[in-house]
Structure 1
Amino acid sequence: MTKNIEATFDAHFEALLERYQSLLAEHKYDYAVIPSGMPIRKYLDDMDYPFKVNPHFKAVLPLADHPHCQIILPQSGKPTLCYYQPVDFWHTVPVDPEGPWVKYFDIQIIQRPQEALSHIPKEGRVILLGQKEGVLDAVSFSAQNPETIVYPLYWHRAYKSDYEIECLWQANVIAARAHTAAKDAFYAKETEQGIQLAYLKAAKQLENDMPYGNIVALNSNGAILHYTGCEGEPPKEHHAFLIDAGAQFHGYASDITRTYSFKKNDEFAEMIAAMDEMHLGLLEQIKPNGSYVDLHIQAHHQISDILNRFGFIDMAPEQMVKEGVSSVFFPHGLGHQLGLQVHDVGGHQTNEQGGVTNPPEQHPFLRNTRKLEASQVLTVEPGLYFIESLLKDIKSSEFNNNVNWKKVEDFKKFGGIRIEDDIVVTDKGHRNLSREAFAQVD
C-alpha cells in the first residue's frame, strides 16, 4: 500500500466495522457471513470463467482476487477471516496475509473451502451477505442479504472515506498512464487490438483485471455505446478514436473516456474541443446540495447548442430538449456513482431504508438521481453520437427537415464523442481525479 493509504486505512476500517456491527445489533442479528465467492466452471470444460469477487466482501477487505474466503463478522468483537491458501502446484497460491487490515482479523488459514464451515457459528441468528453457493449450501442462514442491512450499506457506500478516495485516485493514475499509451497507439495507426494491448501493458494489468470491458472504438464504432469488438485488422483510414477504459486499485475502479480526431485540426477536433469545454463547465456547477438530475438536463441543453452551432440541426436548443431530439444524439445518462463497482450501488436511493427516486421519464437511462453531497464520487460523461438506429427516428418525425442530413452523413464515420472524468464532490465544489491524474503522468 502507498503511504497515504496506510495512513488513512485505520480510520476507514474502524468506521466501517462500527457501521456493520451497529446494523447487526439494531436488527438483532448475531453474525454476518461474507463470502468472497467462488469461480464458476465453464460448461463441459475443466476451466473457470474469470473470477469476480463479491462486492460485499471487497467492501470490507482490499482483496479483489481471492476466491473461497469467508469473513465471519460478529455483532461485537473481532471478525474472523477464513483465508484460502491451498497447497497447489497447478495454480498461483495466494501469499500470506499482509497489509494494515491484518490486525483487525482473527485469520484462519484454510487449505480447502469446506474447512471454513467449522468457523461459521452453529447458533444464533446468522445472515449471509452475498450468494449462497459452494460450501455455503450446507449452512442454514437466518436471512440472505436482508434489506434492513444492505440498503443502509448501499446508502453509505456513496460517501467515500479518505482511504477510498486515495484508492480511486491511484486507479485514475493507472488509467491515465494507460490512456496516454492508447492515444499514442492510435496516432501510430494501430488496430483496435493493438491499442488495447498498449493500454493493458501501460496499466500493468490483464484484461480480466479491468473493472469493466474496455471500449476501444475506431471510427464509426464509437457510435456503439458499449462497443465490445476489438478488431485486429486496421481500418482503411483512421478518422477517430473513442476509448472508455479504467483500472482497479485495491478493488476500487476508475472510469475514464476520451475521444480523439486523427487529423487533430479538422471540424471533428473542433467539436471535441467544444464538448470538452462544455464538460468542464458542467463540473464547475458541482457542489453539495446540487441536483445531478438538473446537471444532466443542462448537459442536454448544451449539447443541443453544439449541434446547432456546428450546423447539424436548425432548432433552438430548448426545443430540441423539449421534443426529445437531443436524446437522439445523447441517449445515455450523464454518469453514475463510482467506487467498488463501476456503476456503484445506491444511485437512485433517497434514504437508508431503500426509498427510490426514479430518473425523469424522458431520461430513463440516468443512473444517478441522488442529491450531490460531499465525499460522493461520480462520473460525468456527456456524449454526442451519430447512431443510425436513433437517427431513423428523426427521419420519420416532423423534425426531419430541421436536420442537415448531408452533414450528419459525413460525420457518421467519426462515430461520436464522449468525455468522462471521475469527480469527488467536496465541501466547496469538486475535485477532478482524472484531470489530476493526467497532469501527473504527462
Structure 2
Amino acid sequence: MPNQLTDLNLLYPEHLATVIARSDRALLRGGFDHLVMPAGTAHYQFLDDRDYPFCVNPHFKHWLPVTRAPGSWLVHTPGRRPRLIYLQPHDYWHVVPEVPAGYWVDHFEITIIRDAREALAHLPNDSARCAIIGEPGAALGDFVPNNPQAVIDLLHYQRAFKTPYELAMMRVASRIGARGHRAAEEAFRNGASEFAIHGAYLAATQLTENELPYGNIIALNEHGAVLHYTDLGRVPPVHPHSFLIDAGGSFHGYASDITRTWAWDRDGEFQDLIDAVEQAQLGFCAQVRAGQSYPDLHLHAHHVLAGVLRDHGFLRMSPESAVESGVSSVFFPHGLGHSIGLQVHDVAGFAADDAGTTIPKPPGHPYLRLTRRLEPGMVTTIEPGLYFVDMLLAELRTRPEARDVDWDRVDAFRRYGGIRIEDDVVCTGGQPENLTRDAFAAIAV
C-alpha cells in the first residue's frame, strides 16, 4: 500500500501535470478559456427529505482525491494554479467535510465557502467561455453544465491511460477488495447466507455500501446464473453447492472489480469446471499486451470456453461451430471485460481516437464494453464466465444446434448457477501487471 507521506507526494505532481496538459489540449480544441467541474450535489428522494447517496463527478475526482464534498467546484485556467472552491457548510445536522489536507493541497488555490451559492463569486466571470463538465443538477446561476463534446471526447479517450499515481490508487483498491473476498469465502465455507456473506465483506473492507464501487453480487447456488444478482437472501440454502462473488474496493476515488467462484465440494465436478475456466482466464490475462485488439481477445475467449464446454461433456460440436452458431454465447452471454479506473465501467471503451470516432462491437456480441486496441497504461478487467441461464437454455432447446447439447449434463449443473473469474490487469510495455492476483498474494503474506 502506498505510504501517503512518501509515494503519493512523489507520484501526485506528475499525475496533476498530466491531467493539466490533457485539459489544456481539450480546452484549445473546444475553444474555451476555462475548465469548470462541479463536484455534484446531493439529491432528495421523491416526496421525501432524504438524500440519495452522493456520487462525486468523476472529472472532479480525477484531479484530486476528494469524494465527499458536494457543492464544491474545481476551476482550471491554462497557465494558472487550479482553484478548488470547497464547500464546508455551517451545519449541525450532518458531518461537515474536513478541512482539505494531505499530499495534494499545496498544488491548489483553495477557497473555503460556507454556502453553496457563494461559489459564484469565485467562478470565472464569463460562463460562456467555460467548458462546464458535470451533471445537470449541479447548475449554479449561469454555470450550467454544457459538457462540450469535443472536450469530453479528448478527456475521456485519454483517461484510459493511467498515470503511475492512478495505478498506485488501484493497487490499494485491489488489496481492499481482496481482503473482502477472503472474508466472504470464509463466511461461505461456514454456511452463511448471502446477506451474512455481504456483511462479512463490508466488515473486512471497512467500506459502507455507499462507498463500494458498485453493488456487491453475492450469489449462492442457482443465483449465480443471474449476471447482476443483488437480492441478498437472508436464509442460507439447505444444501450449498456454489458461491459466486463479484465485489470490489474503493480508494481515493479509484475502483477494483474482482470476481471469484467457489465450489462447496472442493473435489467435485463443478470444481473441475471452475479450474478449467480459471486456467483459461489466466491465459487471457497473459494476452493483455500492447497492440492486442480487445475484440479479438474476446472472440478468442469464446473459442477457448467453447472448448471447455466440449471437453467437459456439455457440447458435442467443435468450438468453431459453437462460436459461429452463437451457442457459445448461450453459456457466455456477456463481454470479456471493460476498462476500469475512476469508474468501474470506465469511459471511452469504444473510442478509436480522441475526436469521438468509435470502433463497433463484433457482430453478435452486443454486450462487449471495450473495442479498443490495448496500449501501455490501460487497465482492463478480464472476466470470462460460463453460466446455466434458464431463459437462454430454453431458447437453445428450440434451435437445430440443440441436438449437439448433452441436456442431462446441462440440467445437472443448473443448481450451480454459473462461474465467473475476474481480474484487473494493466497493459504495460512488456509483461502485464495483474493487480488482482498481486493483491491476493500480498494479503496472504
TM-score (norm 2): 0.97
**Residue 186 of structure 1, aligned match among 185, 188, 196:** 188
* Preserved contact between residue 328 and residue 391 of structure 1 (Cα < 8 Å): yes
In the TM superposition, residue 4 of structure 1 has moved relative to its aligned partner by 2.4
In the TM superposition, residue 103 of structure 1 has moved relative to its aligned partner by 1.3
Match of 1:366 in 2: 368
Match of 1:104 in 2: 107
In the TM superposition, residue 429 of structure 1 has moved relative to its aligned partner by 2.8
* Preserved contact between residue 375 and residue 426 of structure 1 (Cα < 8 Å): yes
Residue deviations 1:328-352, cap 9 Å, x none? Answer: 0000000000000000001100001
Match of 2:309 in 1: 307
**Residue 255 of structure 1, aligned match among 254, 257, 263:** 257
Match of 2:283 in 1: 281
Residue deviations 1:363-422, cap 9 Å, x none? Answer: 111100100111100000000000000001110000122111111111000000000000
Match of 1:355 in 2: 357
Match of 1:129 in 2: 133
Taking the aligned partners of 2:425 and 2:8, their CA distance within structure 1 comes to 19
SS across alignment from 1:307: helix
Match of 2:96 in 1: 93
In the TM superposition, residue 26 of structure 1 has moved relative to its aligned partner by 4.2
In the TM superposition, residue 137 of structure 1 has moved relative to its aligned partner by 4.1
Taking the aligned partners of 2:194 and 2:49, their CA distance within structure 1 comes to 31
* Preserved contact between residue 246 and residue 254 of structure 1 (Cα < 8 Å): yes
Match of 1:335 in 2: 337
* Preserved contact between residue 21 and residue 76 of structure 1 (Cα < 8 Å): no
Residue deviations 1:159-203, cap 9 Å, x none? Answer: 000000010100000000110000000000000000000000000
Q: Is 1:8 aligned with 2:11?
A: yes
Taking the aligned partners of 1:27 and 1:239, their CA distance within structure 2 comes to 56
AA aligned to 2:399 is S
Taking the aligned partners of 2:92 and 2:195, their CA distance within structure 1 comes to 33
AA aligned to 1:127 is A
In the TM superposition, residue 13 of structure 1 has moved relative to its aligned partner by 0.5
Taking the aligned partners of 1:254 and 1:381, their CA distance within structure 2 comes to 13
Taking the aligned partners of 1:140 and 1:253, their CA distance within structure 2 comes to 30
* Preserved contact between residue 211 and residue 246 of structure 1 (Cα < 8 Å): yes
* Preserved contact between residue 169 and residue 251 of structure 2 (Cα < 8 Å): yes
Match of 2:231 in 1: 229
Taking the aligned partners of 1:291 and 1:72, their CA distance within structure 2 comes to 37
* Preserved contact between residue 27 and residue 131 of structure 2 (Cα < 8 Å): no
Match of 2:171 in 1: 169
SS across alignment from 2:124: coil
Taking the aligned partners of 1:65 and 1:244, their CA distance within structure 2 comes to 25
SS across alignment from 1:241: strand
AA aligned to 1:46 is D
AA aligned to 1:43 is F
AA aligned to 2:119 is A
In the TM superposition, residue 87 of structure 1 has moved relative to its aligned partner by 1.8
In the TM superposition, residue 323 of structure 1 has moved relative to its aligned partner by 0.4
SS across alignment from 1:58: helix
* Preserved contact between residue 69 and residue 82 of structure 1 (Cα < 8 Å): yes
AA aligned to 1:146 is P
In the TM superposition, residue 121 of structure 1 has moved relative to its aligned partner by 1.8
**Residue 114 of structure 1, aligned match among 75, 97, 117:** 117
Q: Is 1:295 aligned with 2:305?
A: no
AA aligned to 1:107 is I
In the TM superposition, residue 76 of structure 1 has moved relative to its aligned partner by 2.4
* Preserved contact between residue 336 and residue 367 of structure 1 (Cα < 8 Å): yes
Residue deviations 1:313-340, cap 9 Å, x none? Answer: 1111110001000000000000000000
* Preserved contact between residue 29 and residue 75 of structure 1 (Cα < 8 Å): no
Show structure 1 runs of 4+ deviating over 6 A. Answer: none
Alignment RMSD (CA, Å)? 1.2
* Preserved contact between residue 192 and residue 231 of structure 1 (Cα < 8 Å): yes
Percent identity of paired positions between Structure 1 and Structure 2? 43
**Residue 44 of structure 2, aligned match among 41, 44, 49:** 41
Residue deviations 1:11-49, cap 9 Å, x none? Answer: 111121122123323433111210000011011211101
* Preserved contact between residue 43 and residue 51 of structure 2 (Cα < 8 Å): yes
AA aligned to 2:182 is T
Structure 2, gaps ≥5 residues long: none
* Preserved contact between residue 223 and residue 229 of structure 2 (Cα < 8 Å): yes
Match of 1:375 in 2: 377
Range 400-409 or range 198-207, more displaced: 400-409
Taking the aligned partners of 2:129 and 2:214, their CA distance within structure 1 comes to 36
Q: Is 1:62 aligned with 2:93?
A: no
AA aligned to 1:90 is W
Residue deviations 1:228-248, cap 9 Å, x none? Answer: 110111111110000000011
* Preserved contact between residue 39 and residue 48 of structure 1 (Cα < 8 Å): yes
Range 281-290 or range 323-332, more displaced: 281-290
AA aligned to 2:197 is I
Taking the aligned partners of 1:328 and 1:23, their CA distance within structure 2 comes to 42
Aligned length: 440
